[in-house]
Amino acid sequence: MKILLTGLTGYIAQRLLPVLLANGHEIVCCVRDVNRFNKQKYSSQNLIVIEVDFLKKESLLQIPTDIDIAYYLIHSMSTQSGDFENMEEICASNFKNRIEQTTAKQVIYLSGISNAADLSKHLSSRKNVEAVLSGSAFALTTLKAGIIVGSGSASFEIIRDLVEKLPLMITPRWLKTKCQPIAIRNVVEFLVGVIGKAETYNNSYDIGGPDVLSYKEMLLRFAKIRGLKRHIFIVPVMTPKISSYWLYFVTATSYTLAKNLVNSMKVEVICKPNNLATMLNIHLITYETAIEMAFDKIEQNQVLSSWKDAQTSEIFREGLSKFIEIPVNGCFKDIRTRKVKNEKDSLDRIWLIGGKTGWYYGTWLWEIRGFLDQLAGGVGMRRGRKSETEINTGDALDFWRVLLADKHAKRLLLFAEMKLPGEAWLEFKIDDQQILTQTATFRPLGLRGRLYWYAMLPFHGLIFNGMIKKIAGTS
């Protein structure tokens, strides 16, 4: 079948794509910025990548008309815009209008469980999207999931941060809320299983695992699996705002995502019974097993996708390509060069930078800068990196975003997502003469930006000099 896949830079779509390709389908992938998708990861010839922004109706003309199935996996939960409900409605409406012009017989939509009377803004928005997509020329199959557990999922990483960082937790009331977590493997099985199933046309199904747990129980079971003893005390005085800040400072999530998660976690997300798992012959994975499977992937360095893959900075709204060309005029630059001792070793060190490896010199200074950024509402250093060995365009890397990662060209280009009075790039490149060039570029915004650069100069002298020595293997 010819399948249209949306939301490709998101967590779910990146897990779904290799399964669809392995099943022999021809996949048309919609991305807002083609530079953020590494097509080289997939050897299949049945992969077409098109650039589509669902907020811009004219760009949807790129979608071919001869498709059989379409997946709608677009959401705006982590956007910094306060009007994500309107954005989601526009996207859904534009998608529906275009798909009605194609030969698609079925649209598969992944939503959130919305059985409670009083829903959060996020869950209400997801429910509204279902209403927008309904009543069309195509058949709509809606799958509604709650907490998704898997390596790289937002839920998993937040729980992991809380459990591993805090032996004692003073927590808000919403930890008593019940939910029905589901393993990412099961989610993908459901998404694939309903393809072309006429019984599922114009039907909606809640999907969840076999366990109904409170968030407190999820934390404690996670701790038990990891061999950690944790104590949790629930207090009634934490407002949603305080709870959001609590999540923001303790975990790697952004404040926007933390706020939306807190509002959603106050709502019970328990499945209404249905026979879909039986119909599709899907074995539901327990919460504990899902956690163990996630850590197996992490330990094997096989994390296929992360919630951090999604764009977090509004400056990338128009795509990464705008920032790949580093400006020349009106910029401050710190350029350092050094002959590498061993080209392969130096290139490997570049590709290992950040995360657990650190920044080779003065990593504690980077961490202080990250902490200050977090206090200012920025991303800080908490995101780390998805893979310990691989870097791909679009990846989050501590408080940087990877603009270009080309190991063949021996070039890595990063853009700062921290709070800055300007814009910053960091580039590493090794030429044919085995000369490593390390360039930090800063385009200041007004007087404040210039003062910031000069204030940082003493630290640059230490950090950048020490870093290039380590990478070049000359220290």
Identify the CA nearest to 420 among candidates 459, 369, 463.
369
Question: Rounded to an integer, what distance in angstroms lies between the CA atom of residue 453 and that of residue 330?
Answer: 13
Higher pLDDT, 475 or 24: 24
Question: Rounded to an integer, what distance in angstroms lies between the CA atom of residue 460 and that of residue 463?
Answer: 5
- What is the share, in percent, of the chain residues with pLDDT greater than 90? 49
Instruction: Specify the residue for token string 């976690």.
Output: 265
Taking 60 as the threshold, does the pLDDT of residue 320 lie above it? no
**Beta strands 203-207; 139-145: pairing state:** parallel
Alpha carbon distances (Å) from 310 to 130, 257, 313, 354, 376 = 22, 12, 9, 19, 21
Instruction: Specify the residue for token string 């890595």.
Output: 412
Mean pLDDT of 330-337: 92
Give Rg (Cα) of the chain: 23
pLDDT of residue 20: 94
Residue-wise pLDDT for 203-246, tens only, equals 999 999 999 999 999 999 999 998 999 998 888 776 767 777 77
Coil, strand, or helix at residue 23?
A: coil
Q: Tell me the domain boundaries of the chain.
A: 2-300, 320-472
Taking 90 as the threshold, does the pLDDT of residue 4 lie above it? yes
Which amino acid type is present at position 124? S
Are 8 and 31 contacting, i.e. CB atoms less than 8 angstroms apart? Answer: yes
Mean pLDDT of 1-28: 91
Which of 85-94, 221-230, 290-299 bottoms out in mean pLDDT, i.e. has the lowest?
290-299
Are 209 and 286 contacting, i.e. CB atoms less than 8 angstroms apart? Answer: yes
Confidence of residue 169 (pLDDT cuts 50, 70, 90): confident
Confidence of residue 192 (pLDDT cuts 50, 70, 90): very high
Per-residue exposure over 138-173, b if at least 16 CB sit within 10 Å of its own CB, e if not: bbbbbbbbbbbbbbbbbbbbbbbbbbeebeebebbe
Coil, strand, or helix at residue 217?
A: helix
Taking 70 as the threshold, does the pLDDT of residue 311 lie above it? no
Q: 2 is written with which tokens?
A: 């010819």
For the chain, how many residues are written?
Answer: 475
Coil, strand, or helix at residue 189?
A: helix
Which of 9-13, 104-108, 321-325, 459-463 bottoms out in mean pLDDT, i.e. has the lowest?
321-325
What CATH number belongs to 320-472?
3.30.530.20
Cα–chain center distance at 29: 17
Which of 298-307, 404-413, 416-425 bottoms out in mean pLDDT, i.e. has the lowest?
298-307
Taking 80 as the threshold, does the pLDDT of residue 322 lie above it? no
pLDDT of residue 42: 77
Taking 90 as the threshold, does the pLDDT of residue 470 lie above it? yes
Q: What CATH architecture is 2-300?
A: 3-Layer(aba) Sandwich (3.40)
Question: Rounded to an integer, what distance in angstroms lies between the CA atom of residue 248 and that of residue 255?
Answer: 5
Confidence of residue 308 (pLDDT cuts 50, 70, 90): low
Identify the CA nearest to 462 among candidates 354, 365, 347, 373.
365
Which of 23-27, 96-100, 102-106, 247-251 bottoms out in mean pLDDT, i.e. has the lowest?
247-251
Question: Rounded to an integer, what distance in angstroms lies between the CA atom of residue 387 and that of residue 308?
Answer: 12
Alpha carbon distances (Å) from 325 to 29, 265, 317, 396, 430 = 25, 42, 16, 19, 18
Question: Rounded to an integer, what distance in angstroms lies between the CA atom of residue 215 and that of residue 218?
Answer: 5
pTM of the model: 0.76
Q: 239 is written with which tokens?
A: 């407002």
